[in-house]
Amino acid sequence: MIEVSNVINPEFIEAIEFRDQPYFIKFTQYPGFRVKVNPKGRISFITYGRIHFGGNPRTITHGTPTDLTIDKALDKHFHCLKLLQKGLDPNLIKKSKSKQFTTSMNFFNVAEDFIKDKIAKKEYSYDF
């Protein structure tokens, strides 16, 4: 179920009621920007849009009101719209960044960073 609202502010977010089924609230002044309300009380800012050259619509989750302010969520929304307009999928970009991070973190790199940090802070023993 989708509801429509003209207002988005912190008071509006705090006054959102929870229901038995999840639902979305979309805003007339920000096309594609939605708030998803889950029955257990989780509220999420999302962008709902289609890649410029076609394909299925994408749902990009930005975070919750505890993580983001409304202004930051709108900034992320506009950034996602620009990526979608260029034909890029923001979800794939997010996944590739996290994959690059996890592949760069092997045991050798972690140990090397640990040793460099200890030497820089002079938190080591000369006996070892």
**Are both 49 and 6 inside the same structural domain?**
yes
Given this model, what pLDDT does residue 124 score? 63
Please tell me the distance from the alpha carbon of residue 80 to that of residue 83, in angstroms, as a whole number.
5
Query: For residue 16, what is the DSSP state?
Result: P
**Are both 42 and 56 inside the same structural domain?**
yes
**Are both 19 and 82 inside the same structural domain?**
yes
* Contact assessment for residue 27 and residue 45, using Cβ atoms and an 8 Å cutoff: no
Given this model, what pLDDT does residue 102 score? 58
Please tell me the distance from the alpha carbon of residue 125 to that of residue 90, in angstroms, as a whole number.
47
Please tell me the distance from the alpha carbon of residue 23 to that of residue 34, in angstroms, as a whole number.
10
The whole-model pTM stands at 0.69
Nearest Cα to 23, choosing from 44, 4, 37? 37
Given this model, what pLDDT does residue 97 score? 64
Show the domain range for 120.
91-128
Given this model, what pLDDT does residue 101 score? 56
**Are both 55 and 104 inside the same structural domain?**
no
Residue 18 has pLDDT above 80, yes or no: yes
* Ordered strands of the 43-50 beta sheet: 2-5, 23-27, 30-37, 43-50, 57-63
To the nearest whole number, what is the mean pLDDT of the chain?
Answer: 84
Tens-place pLDDT, residues 78-100: 999 898 888 888 888 777 766 65
Please tell me the distance from the alpha carbon of residue 50 to that of residue 46, in angstroms, as a whole number.
13
DSSP H or E stretch at residue 48: strand 43-50
Higher local confidence (pLDDT), 23 or 50: 23
**Are both 11 and 47 inside the same structural domain?**
yes
Reported as a pLDDT band with limits 50, 70 and 90, residue 123 is low
Structure tokens of 5?
Answer: 């609202």
Please tell me the distance from the alpha carbon of residue 77 to that of residue 34, in angstroms, as a whole number.
9
Higher local confidence (pLDDT), 120 or 14: 14
Tens-place pLDDT, residues 45-62: 999 988 877 778 888 999
Higher local confidence (pLDDT), 103 or 23: 23
Q: How many domains does the chain have?
A: 2
